[in-house]
Structure 1
Amino acid sequence: MKTHILIVDDDPHIRELLRLYLQKERFMVVEAGDGNEASKLLETEQVHLAIVDVMMPKKNGWELCEEIREYYDIPVILLTARGELEDKAKGFLSGTDDYVVKPFEPEELLFRIRALLRRYQMVSDNIISMNDTVIDRNNYEVRVRNRSFVLPLKEFQLLAQLASQPDRMYTREQLIQLIWGNDFEGDSRTVDVHIKRLRERFRGITDDFQIITVRGLGYKLEVKGE
Structure 2
Amino acid sequence: MAILVIEDDPKTGDYLRKGLRESGYAVDLARNGADGLHMALEQDYDLVVLDVMLPGLDGWQVMSALRSKRDLPVLFLTARDHVDDRIRGLQLGADDYLVKPFSFTELVLRIRTLLRRGVTREAEVYEIADLQLDHVRHKVTRQGVNIALTNKEFMLLHLLIKRQGEALSRSVIASQIWDMNFDSDTNVVDVAIKRLRAKIDAPFDKKLIHTVRSVGYMFSEEP
TM-score range, shorter chain: 0.5 to 0.7
Correspondence 1:2-41 to 2 at 5 A: 3-41=1-39
* Over 6 Å off, 4+ runs: none
Superposition CA RMSD, Å: 1.4
Q: Which blocks of at least 5 consecutive residues in structure 2 are unaligned?
A: 126-131, 133-223
User: Per the alignment, do residues 10 and 113 of structure 1 end up closer, same or farther by CA in structure 2, a change over 3 Å counting?
Assistant: same
What is the rounded CA distance, in whole Å, between the counterparts of 2:98 and 2:50 in structure 1? Answer: 10
Structure 1: runs of 5 or more not aligned: 128-137, 139-226
Match of 2:60 among 59, 62, 67: 62
2:110 is the counterpart of 1:112: yes
Q: Could you list the per-position Cα deviations for residues 61-95 of structure 1 after superposition, in whole angstroms to 9, with x for gaps in the alignment? A: 11111122111121000111011101111111111
Counterpart among 41, 49, 52 of residue 51 in structure 1: 49
TM-fit CA distance, 1:126:
4.2
Cα 1:84–1:43, aligned 2, differ >3 Å: closer, same or farther? closer
Which residue, out of 81, 84, 89, partners 2:82? 84
Whether contact under 8 Å (1:53, 1:78) holds in the other structure is: yes
1:57 Cα deviation from its structure 2 partner: 1.2
Residue aligning to 1:132: none
Asked if the contact 2:4/2:30 (under 8 Å) is kept, the reply is: yes
The number of residue pairs the alignment matches comes to 126
Contact (CA 8 Å) 1:5, 1:47: kept in 2 or not?
yes
C-alpha distance in 1 between matches for 2:48 and 2:117? 15
Question: How many angstroms apart in 1 are the aligned matches of 2:79 and 2:99?
Answer: 5
SS, match of residue 20 in structure 2? helix
Mark the structure with the bigger radius of gyration. Answer: 2
Tell me how far 1:53 sits from its aligned partner: 0.3
Aligned positions of 1:162-173 closer than 5 A: none
Alpha-carbon distance in structure 1 between the residues aligned to 2:39 and 2:120: 26
Instruction: Tell whether the 8 Å contact from 1:63 to 1:94 is kept in structure 2 after alignment.
Output: no
Aligned partners of 2:100, 2:59: CA distance in 1, in Å?
A: 14
